[in-house]
Structure 1
Amino acid sequence: MTQKFGDLAPSLYPGERLGLPEEGPRSVARVGRRLLAICIDWALAWLPAYLLIGGPHAMWWHSLSFCVLQIIFIPTIGGSLGHRIVGLHVVPIAGGWVGVWRPIVRSVLVTLVIPALVWDSDQRGFHDKIAGTVLIRA
């Protein structure tokens, strides 16, 4: 019997198909921690943009600052400052080091916001799917 599109059985919990545990360390990050982490990251990106630039152009600098902070911290400390503060970690699905290109792709897509709102059954946003990463509890 061949499977048709949409015939895949639903996961019992987020991360099951990825071989991740249901709860505890290495389980898929849930919505509450994700939202808190992104709020922290946006606030940290806001500081240099509005304190150094100010004015009507600060919004663009804020987005650029957010993206740059993500690109710097994901490969160096395993996640953004917000991720690390709330106990999350960005890892590649294939294992190993996240590298340089994944944080760039992921960060640009998160900065666009829309991909972060589109999730799959493993609670991975479109930005994580494209980058081949998953946000897990540390």
Structure 2
Amino acid sequence: MGAVAGFGRRLLGVTVDWLLAYVLTLAVMGLDALGGSAIGWWVWAVWFVLTVIPTAFFGMTPGMVAVGIRVARVDMAATVGFRAILRTVLLGLVLPAVVRDADGRGWHDRASQTIVIRSRA
């Protein structure tokens, strides 16, 4: 616990969150929305809210809980707070999350001064 989370767990966690965003979007819009051109933007908006709010207050999203990881601030503050907005915007752009440093932190984590750690073994 407390060690930097590996890329596999991080990828699985964000995948669970994206799938949950799809399910929630389709639950509201109906299956007919699958053929629409705006479905991707709606899913992204739902994913954004589903990621920012729990990360800001609890340090983890539903997908992170499922895979046993959480976001922590590098200055050891209790909550991520407003940094979750910048982190999520950059995570949604994908490239900043894929490019990582020697510590395994993506650009989105470096810009928001956060790190993803394991919350259970």
Q: TM-score, normalised by structure 1?
A: 0.78
Residue number in structure 1 paired with 2:7: 31
Residue number in structure 2 paired with 1:18: none
Residue number in structure 1 paired with 2:59: 78
Secondary structure at 2:103 match in 1:
coil
- Alpha-carbon RMSD across the aligned residues, in angstroms, is 1.2
Q: Indicate the structure with greater helix content.
A: 2
**Equivalent of 1:41 in 4, 17, 30:** 17
Opposite residue 104 of structure 1, the aligned amino acid is: I
Q: Percentage identity across aligned positions?
A: 36
Misfit runs of 4+, over 3 Å: none
CA–CA distance in structure 2, aligned partners of residues 50 and 60 of structure 1: 12
Q: Does 1:119 align with 2:100?
A: yes
Secondary structure at 2:116 match in 1:
strand
**Equivalent of 1:51 in 24, 27, 37:** 27
Larger Rg: 1
Q: How many residues align?
A: 114
- Mind listing any 5+ residue stretches in structure 1 that lack a counterpart? 1-24
Residue number in structure 2 paired with 1:129: 110
- Mind listing any 5+ residue stretches in structure 2 that lack a counterpart? none
Q: TM-score, normalised by structure 2?
A: 0.88
Task: For CA contacts below 8 A with separation 6 or more, give which structure has more relative contact order.
Answer: 2
